[in-house]
């Protein structure tokens, strides 16, 4: 499969189509027309995403090298703007209102941070990336980039969006590992991070603490904080092997499952399509991320390689956490399932990220 | 290298998620499916009627009447308080009671809430009319067991109650659930599976707020099957009236088929008290030392007394160890070993049928000693003693007949090391000592002489759901006794009544000729048990009767009760 562009395009379009089907299924029973028309908006987002996908894949990703700091500043600017102008929904201030749509800067920030970290760690474009650490010491190799990550991550966590914030930290840790930073340093960083975790406890909101408790034991509060996870498990499990059929899932159709078109769209899908359907979906995601890693392996350019890895990890981590959360194996955090969940920001950012991947693969020969 | 590890980790995450999906959607799919159904399916239940219990002519012994429950099924925005206000006028509800219901509405808004139970039909109709203005109001007919004859035949039918833990563990596989109403004792328990109704109702789908979305269908409740008994309600009433306030039992049986026509036991209980869940009356029955719940006809084992002599006589004649002309002299007592064994009178010269008529102990002591205990035991078993008759009703006891063999076996146990002495044989031959029988066993024994040689299997169910069950009953067993034996004993039985000195001479005044035998079973400490077993009309027997009075004194008193019953039967034209 040399032609990664076609492969990625096909997989992405299938997943997006599955997503639209599921969104339609989970919202067609709602009362208002605004809700019922939500799948149309998702179609528009997917189209826009596809256009951007082709535009980005035809452009040169190395231009991002020059624009990195501008983009980073932009991301910070938007995140700050959320605090001032952001609209509150479901108790979180995550969205910026544009003319006819809401924009979620934290989605964009994830991609920009992947670009930023790729650039930071491949600064000199030398083959031995472990140099920065030995050369600049722990401070410039470890602490400084962490501060760059911590700034947007902190802003996102304060929205509050713990999931996306932690995503950035995870991405950072994985990239540290992949850039041949000494294992000893990573361990020091990790242990420092873990030791500081109890401190974070004080900064967590009450509902986040509750979610953690519920994750450890969903049965302590089945009608309150544990409701979502219990219903999600029931939805997935009751699907059985062949599923209940499209538009026939009782858990989502009768609204027992909250957020069935966004964070818990996997449960909606699994209920209606069963084990076979969900295995196919899981396999599609697996193939998509595998493409990302293959591209990273093929690329000689350090920046491109790290960027491809960053994007693949970004998608991979997000997909794994979302599905694990649907199955009750991860605490509930507001992470959408890329390409499936309803949400313009997520869809467009994901398509742009895939576009960058393709672009990296196309330009690697130039080097 | 590190890239490989990360890729491997990714692969493992994929495998992990797949296996979790497998366990959810394949291994545990059924459990989750049930939970999902529980989420969205609501049943407004409607009970079917429990099967009726009828007598042999189709008169009702137990059936169901409709009582009405008022329920509220929340639909959409809760208008519960409004409905409650409208309804409370008719129901004369107290506000306190309704408040707890209100709380319940808030907790489980998708379940129907009971506002009032067991209201009369007038109120039910009035509420039904209000249904339009008060959406969500449901008047649900609920069948409740009714006993039109109150306590009549209570031991036969048993009573109803909430299933207990022991029964639940046994019956769970047959679809019984907690809080199910099941039969206890009698027909209600034995044929519970047939009598049981099936719950139906309106199956509807609700959304996450318990709002009604659509009706999935109506499942018709299924009524239980009717059970028809061989009992004749008129006869049953006669029997129970005759027994009134005397502890004991009466059983009337058809001598050729074994159909039980009446089966009375006193003290009795009121099955309706259990159905109404009137908590105050149930402990009265349970704590009563006279055990009113006990069906003495099948569950009570008592010493047989003189009735047992018929078995000894049969055994003697069959084995030819005595014959009709065997004569024994009764001097009021007899010395066996070093102990004096008494007769209840001094009868002088007695042959077999006189000995039966006068119930002379000495004659039978002698006969018993000639026969030996093993032969007596064998014949007792042949007549169906010492084993249950496999009757239709539950909790039948088998009784007991001692034998030297069993004594010997017992010698190896630690508890009762006794040898078999001639005194034991003497005791056995007049039905004392360890002999224990049930009134039903005695009726069966008497039926052998009535039908000339057949041990019938008594039964009480005539038909289940309209189809006769008589053909499935076990056939009567031919005991292959000689005709002369039976004739000789029948002669004795007749003389019990016809002889002026006969123990049941009171019955001789009746318009129908009766044959029978009294028994006075000593059961120290306390008064003796009074027995009477007989059949009538003597030539072509239509009925076998066995009257037993617990601590009733001399057998004469039982004969009196029998007389009362037969008189009434003659009046009603049943004979």
Q: Do B10 and A329 touch (CB under 8 A)?
A: no
Q: Quick one: which of B307, B381, B287, B355 has its CA closest to B547?
A: B307
Q: Does A251 touch chain B (CB under 8 A)?
A: yes
Q: Which of A22-36, A353-367, B253-267 has the highest mean pLDDT?
A: B253-267
DSSP H or E segment with residue A179: none
Q: Quick one: which of B461, B321, B326, B434 has its CA closest to B380?
A: B434
DSSP H or E segment with residue B446: helix B439-450
Is A364's pLDDT higher than 80?
no
Nearest residue of chain A to residue B33 (CA atoms): A238
pLDDT in tens, A247-276: 888 888 888 888 888 899 999 999 999 999
Q: Does B207 touch chain A (CB under 8 A)?
A: yes
Q: Does B277 touch chain A (CB under 8 A)?
A: no
- Tell me the nearest-neighbour CA distance from B204 into chain A, angstroms: 13
Whether residue A256 contacts residue B39, with contact meaning beta carbons closer than 8 Å, is answered with yes
The CA dihedral of B532, B538, B541, B547, to the nearest 10 degrees, is -10
Task: List, as one string, the DSSP characters of B456-476.
Answer: ---B-EEEETTEE-GGGSPPP
Q: Do B25 and A255 touch (CB under 8 A)?
A: no
- SS3 (DSSP) at B333: strand
CB atoms within 10 A of CB B90: 17
Q: Does B206 touch chain A (CB under 8 A)?
A: yes
Sign of the dihedral defined by the CA atoms of residues B287, B292, B297, B302, in that order: positive
A39: left (phi over 0), alpha (psi -120 to 50) or beta: alpha
- Tell me the nearest-neighbour CA distance from A256 into chain B, angstroms: 5
Q: Does B39 touch chain A (CB under 8 A)?
A: yes
The count of structural domains within chain A is 1
Class of residue A63 by CB neighbours under 10 A (exposed 0-12, middle 13-18, buried 19+)? exposed
pLDDT of residue B96: 54
Residues in chain B with CB shorter than 8 Å from the CB of A237 are: 24-25, 28-29, 31-33, 35-36
- B162 strand-pairing partners: B181
- SS3 (DSSP) at B117: strand
Residues in chain A with CB shorter than 8 Å from the CB of B17 are: 282, 320, 323-324, 327
Q: Do A293 and B28 touch (CB under 8 A)?
A: no
Q: Does B81 touch chain A (CB under 8 A)?
A: no
- Tell me the nearest-neighbour CA distance from B19 into chain A, angstroms: 10
Q: Do A240 and B6 touch (CB under 8 A)?
A: no
pLDDT of residue B567: 93
pTM: 0.65
- Tell me the nearest-neighbour CA distance from B178 into chain A, angstroms: 24
Class of residue B166 by CB neighbours under 10 A (exposed 0-12, middle 13-18, buried 19+)? exposed
Vertex A242, ends A241 and A247: CA angle to 5°? Answer: 130
pLDDT of residue A316: 94
Q: Does B18 touch chain A (CB under 8 A)?
A: yes
Nearest-by-Cβ selection for B25 from A231, A274, A329? A274
Nearest residue of chain B to residue A249 (CA atoms): B36
Nearest-by-Cβ selection for B213 from A236, A254, A316? A254
- Tell me the nearest-neighbour CA distance from B15 into chain A, angstroms: 10
Q: Do B25 and A256 touch (CB under 8 A)?
A: no
Nearest residue of chain A to residue B2 (CA atoms): A178
Q: Does B21 touch chain A (CB under 8 A)?
A: yes
Residues in chain A with CB shorter than 8 Å from the CB of B209 are: 255
Q: Do B208 and A254 touch (CB under 8 A)?
A: yes
CB atoms within 10 A of CB B418: 10
Residues in chain B with CB shorter than 8 Å from the CB of A274 are: 25
Q: Does B40 touch chain A (CB under 8 A)?
A: yes
Cα distance between residue B361 and residue B359, in whole Å: 6
* Interface confidence (ipTM) of the complex: 0.90
Q: Do B31 and A237 touch (CB under 8 A)?
A: yes
Q: Do B25 and A237 touch (CB under 8 A)?
A: yes
Q: Does B9 touch chain A (CB under 8 A)?
A: no
**Half-sphere exposure of residue A112: CA atoms within 13 angstroms, side-chain side:** 23
Whether residue B353 contacts residue B486, with contact meaning beta carbons closer than 8 Å, is answered with no
The domains located in chain B, with CATH, are 42-229 (3.90.1310.10), 233-276+294-572 (3.40.710.10)
pLDDT of residue A19: 94
Helix, strand and coil in chain A, % to nearest 5: 70, 5, 25
Nearest residue of chain A to residue B13 (CA atoms): A320
Separation of first and last alpha carbons in chain A: 21
- Name the residue range of residue A83's domain: 4-363
Angle of helix A183-203 relative to helix A131-138, nearest 10 degrees?
A: 50
Q: Does A241 touch chain B (CB under 8 A)?
A: yes
Task: List, as one string, the DSSP characters of B247-302.
Answer: SEEEEEE-TTT-BEEEEEEES---HHHHHTT-TTTHHHHHH-TT-TT--HHHH--B
Q: For chain B, what is the radius of gyration of the CA atoms?
A: 32
Nearest residue of chain B to residue A280 (CA atoms): B18
Q: Do A178 and B205 touch (CB under 8 A)?
A: no
Q: Taking a contact as any Cβ pair under 8 Å apart, which residues of chain A between 146 and 205 contact chain B?
A: 174, 177-178, 180
Cα distance between residue B92 and residue B107, in whole Å: 25
pLDDT in tens, chain B (575 residues): 788 888 899 999 999 999 999 999 998 888 898 888 888 887 777 888 899 999 999 899 998 888 888 877 766 555 667 777 777 777 766 555 555 556 555 555 556 677 777 777 888 888 888 777 777 777 888 888 888 888 888 999 998 888 888 888 888 888 888 888 888 888 999 999 899 988 888 777 777 776 777 777 787 888 899 999 999 999 999 999 998 888 999 999 999 999 999 999 988 888 888 866 556 677 777 788 888 888 999 999 999 999 999 999 999 999 999 988 888 888 888 888 888 888 888 888 889 988 999 999 999 999 999 999 999 999 999 999 988 888 888 889 999 999 888 888 877 776 666 788 888 999 999 998 889 999 999 999 999 999 999 999 999 999 998 888 877 777 888 998 999 999 999 999 999 999 888 889 999 998 899 999 999 998 888 899 999 999 989 999 999 999 999 999 899 999 999 999 999 999 988 87
Nearest residue of chain A to residue B41 (CA atoms): A250
DSSP A261: T
**A to B CB pairs, distance under 8 Å:** 101
Task: List, as one string, the DSSP characters of A47-112.
Answer: HHHHHHHHHHHHS-TTHHHHHHHHHHHHHHHHHHHHHHHPEEETTEEEEEE-SSSEE-HHHHHHHH
Average of per-residue pLDDT values in chain A: 85
Q: For chain A, what is the radius of gyration of the CA atoms?
A: 20
Is A100's pLDDT higher than 80?
no
DSSP H or E segment with residue B66: strand B60-72
Whether residue B232 contacts residue B466, with contact meaning beta carbons closer than 8 Å, is answered with no
The CA dihedral of B147, B149, B153, B154, to the nearest 10 degrees, is 40
Banded pLDDT at A358 (limits 50, 70, 90) = very high
pLDDT of residue B201: 80
CA distances from B457 to A117, B444, B476, B483 (A): 95, 8, 6, 21
pLDDT of residue B102: 60
Residues in chain A with CB shorter than 8 Å from the CB of B206 are: 254
Banded pLDDT at A125 (limits 50, 70, 90) = very low
């Amino acid at each position: 499969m040399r032609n990664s562009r076609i492969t990625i395009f096909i997989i992405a379009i299938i997943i997006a189509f599955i997503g639209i089907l599921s969104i339609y299924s989970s919202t067609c029973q709602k009362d208002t027309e605004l809700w019922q028309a939500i799948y149309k908006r998702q179609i528009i987002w997917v189209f826009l995403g596809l256009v951007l996908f082709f535009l980005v894949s035809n452009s040169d990703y190395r231009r991002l090298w020059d624009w990195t700091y501008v983009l980073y500043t932009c991301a910070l600017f938007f995140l700050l703007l959320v605090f001032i102008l952001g609209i509150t929904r479901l108790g979180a201030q995550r969205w910026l209102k544009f003319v006819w749509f809401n924009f979620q800067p934290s989605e964009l920030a994830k991609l920009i941070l992947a670009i930023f970290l790729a650039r930071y760690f491949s600064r000199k474009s030398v083959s031995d990336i472990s140099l920065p650490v030995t050369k600049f010491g722990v401070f410039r190799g470890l602490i400084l980039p962490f501060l760059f990550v911590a700034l947007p991550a902190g802003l996102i966590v304060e929205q509050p969006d713990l999931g996306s914030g932690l995503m950035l930290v995870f991405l950072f840790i994985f990239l540290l590992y992949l850039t041949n930073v000494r294992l000893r340093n990573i361990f020091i960083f990790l242990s420092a991070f873990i030791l500081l975790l109890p401190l974070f406890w004080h900064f967590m909101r009450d509902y986040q603490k509750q979610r953690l408790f519920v994750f450890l034991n969903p049965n302590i509060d089945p009608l309150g904080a544990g409701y979502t996870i219990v219903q999600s498990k029931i939805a997935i499990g009751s699907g059985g092997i062949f599923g209940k059929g499209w538009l026939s899932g009782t858990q989502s159709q009768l609204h027992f499952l909250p957020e069935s078109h966004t964070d818990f769209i996997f449960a909606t899908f699994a209920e209606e399509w069963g084990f076979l359907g969900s295995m196919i979906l899981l396999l599609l995601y697996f193939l998509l991320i595998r493409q990302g890693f293959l591209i990273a392996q093929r690329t000689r350019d350090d920046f491109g390689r790290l960027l491809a890895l960053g994007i693949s990890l970004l998608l991979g981590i997000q997909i794994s956490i979302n599905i694990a959360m649907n199955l009750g194996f991860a605490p509930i955090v507001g992470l959408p399932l890329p390409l499936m969940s309803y949400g313009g920001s997520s869809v467009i950012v994901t398509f742009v990220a895939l576009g960058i991947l393709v672009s990296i693969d196309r330009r690697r020969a130039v080097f | 290298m590190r890239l490989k590890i990360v890729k491997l980790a990714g692969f493992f995450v994929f495998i992990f998620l797949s296996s979790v999906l497998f366990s959810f959607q394949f291994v545990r799919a059924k459990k989750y499916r049930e939970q999902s159904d529980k989420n969205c399916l609501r049943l407004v239940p409607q009970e079917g009627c429990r099967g009726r219990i009828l007598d042999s002519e189709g008169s009702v012994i137990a059936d169901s009447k409709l009582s009405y429950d008022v329920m509220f099924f929340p639909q959409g925005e809760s208008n519960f308080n409004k409905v409650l206000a409208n309804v409370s006028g008719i129901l004369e509800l107290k506000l306190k009671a309704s408040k707890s219901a209100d709380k319940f509405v808030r907790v489980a808004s998708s379940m129907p809430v009971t506002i009032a139970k067991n209201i009369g039909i007038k109120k039910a109709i009035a509420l039904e009319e209000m249904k339009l203005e008060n959406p969500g109001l449901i008047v649900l007919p609920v069948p409740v067991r009714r006993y039109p004859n109150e306590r009549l035949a209570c031991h036969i039918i048993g009573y109803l109650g909430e299933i207990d833990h022991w029964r639940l563990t046994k019956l769970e596989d047959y679809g019984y659930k907690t809080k199910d109403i099941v039969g206890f004792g009698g027909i209600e328990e034995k044929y519970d599976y047939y009598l049981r109704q099936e719950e139906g109702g309106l199956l509807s789908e609700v959304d996450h707020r318990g709002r009604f979305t659509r009706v999935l269908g109506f499942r018709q409740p299924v009524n239980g099957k009717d059970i028809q008994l061989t009992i004749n309600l008129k006869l049953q009433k006669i029997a129970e009236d005759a027994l009134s306030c005397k502890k004991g039992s009466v059983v009337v049986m058809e001598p050729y088929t074994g159909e039980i026509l009446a089966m009375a036991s006193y003290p009795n209980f009121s099955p309706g008290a259990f159905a109404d869940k009137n908590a105050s009356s149930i402990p009265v029955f349970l704590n009563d030392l006279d055990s009113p719940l006990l069906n003495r006809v099948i569950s009570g084992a008592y010493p047989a007394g003189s009735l047992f002599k018929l078995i000894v006589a049969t055994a003697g004649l069959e084995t030819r160890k005595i014959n009709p002309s065997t004569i024994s002299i009764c001097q009021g007592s007899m010395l066996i070993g070093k102990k004096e064994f008494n007769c209840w009178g001094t009868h002088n010269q007695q042959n077999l049928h006189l000995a039966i008529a006068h119930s002379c102990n000495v004659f039978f002591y002698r006969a018993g000693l000639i026969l030996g205990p093993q032969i007596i035991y064998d014949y007792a078993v042949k007549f169906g003693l010492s084993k249950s008759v496999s009757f239709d009703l539950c909790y039948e006891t088998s009784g007991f007949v001692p034998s030297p063999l069993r004594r010997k076996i017992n010698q190896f146990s630690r508890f009762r090391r006794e040898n078999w002495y001639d005194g034991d044989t003497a005791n056995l031959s007049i039905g004392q000592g360890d002999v224990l029988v049930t009134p039903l066993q005695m009726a069966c024994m008497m039926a052998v002489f009535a039908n000339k040689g057949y041990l019938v299997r008594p039964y009480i169910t005539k038909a289940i759901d309209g189809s006769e069950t008589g053909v499935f009953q076990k056939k009567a067993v031919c005991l292959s006794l000689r005709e002369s034996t039976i004739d000789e004993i029948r002669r004795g039985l007749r003389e019990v009544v016809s002889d002026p000195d006969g123990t049941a001479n009171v019955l001789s005044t009746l318009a129908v000729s009766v044959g029978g035998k009294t028994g006075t079973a000593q059961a120290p400490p306390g008064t003796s048990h009074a027995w009477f077993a007989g059949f009538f009309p003597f030539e072509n027997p239509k009925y076998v009767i066995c009257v037993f009075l617990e601590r009733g004194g001399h057998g004469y008193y039982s004969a009196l009760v029998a007389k009362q019953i037969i008189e009434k039967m003659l009046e009603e034209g049943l004979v």
